[in-house]
Copies of this chain bind each other. A is one copy, B any other.
Amino acid sequence: MVFQPHGKRLKASEGKTILEAAREVGVDITSICGGRGVCGKCRIIIRGGEECLSAPSKTERHTFSDDDFSSGFRLACQTAVAFEGKTVVEVPSESRVNQQKLLLKGLERSVELSPAVKKVAVHLKKPSLLDTRSDVDRLLDALRPNTSWGPQVDYEALKKAPLVLRKGDWTVTATVWKDGEVISVEPGATKGCYGFAVDIGTTKLAGYLVDLTSGKIVAMASMMNPQIAYGEDVISRIRYIMEADMNLSRLQQAIAESINNLINEACETASVPPSEIYDMTVAGNTAMHHIFLGVPPNYVALLPYPAALQSPMDIKARELSVGISPGAYVHALPAIAGFVGGDAVADILATKIHEADDLSLMIDIGTNTEIVLGNKDGLVACSCASGPAFEGAHIRNGMRAATGAIERVWIDPKTLELGYKTIDNQKPRGLCGSAVIDITAEMLKAGIIDYSGKFNAESRTIRLRRNDKSVEFVIARKDETLIESDIVITQGDVREVQLAKAAIYTGASILMKHRNVRSEEIEGIFLAGAFGNYIDPQSARIIGMYPDVPLERVKFVGNTAGSGARMALLSVEARKEAGEIAKRVEYVELGADLDFQKEFLKATYLPHQEADRFPNVVKILGKIRNRG
Contact = CB atoms under 8 A, between A and B. Distances in A.
Contacts of A294: 159
A587 interface: yes
Given A155-B316, A319-B155, A132 B162 contact: no
Interface residues of A, number: 45
Interface string A126-170: 011100111111101000000000010101001101110010000
Interface stretch (A300-308, A379-387, A562-570): A300-308
B162 A129 contact: no
Contacts of A163: 296, 298
Question: Which among A161, A307, A338 has the greatest number of chain B C-beta atoms within 10 A?
Answer: A307
B136 A310 contact: yes
A311 B133 CA distance: 10
A295 interface: yes
A551 interface: no
Given A162-B295, A162-B298, A166-B299, A134 B307 contact: yes
A134 B335 contact: yes
A592 interface: yes
A82 interface: no
Contacts of A335: 134
Nearest to A591: B129
A293 B137 contact: no
Contacts of A308: 134-136, 161-162
A179 interface: no
Interface in A62-117: none
A298 B335 CA distance: 47
Nearest to A335: B134
B295 A132 contact: no
Contacts of A162: 295-296, 298-299, 308
A162 B138 CA distance: 43
Given A162-B296, A163-B296, A295-B162, A136 B309 contact: yes
Contacts of A155: 315-316, 319
A358 interface: no
Contacts of A319: 155
Given A132-B306, A134-B306, 8 more contacts: A129-B303, A129-B592, A136-B309, A137-B311, A158-B293, A159-B294, A159-B295, A162-B296
Contacts of A338: 132, 134
B589 A309 contact: no
A313 interface: yes
Interface string A268-294: 000000000000000000000000011
Instruction: Indicate the member of A138, A158, A338 with the most B CB atoms within 10 Å.
Output: A158
26 contacts: A129-B303, A129-B592, A132-B306, A132-B337, A132-B589, A133-B306, A133-B310, A134-B307, A134-B308, A134-B309, A134-B311, A134-B338, A135-B306, A135-B307, A136-B309, A155-B315, A155-B319, A158-B295, A158-B313, A159-B293, A159-B294, A162-B295, A162-B296, A162-B308, A163-B296, A166-B299
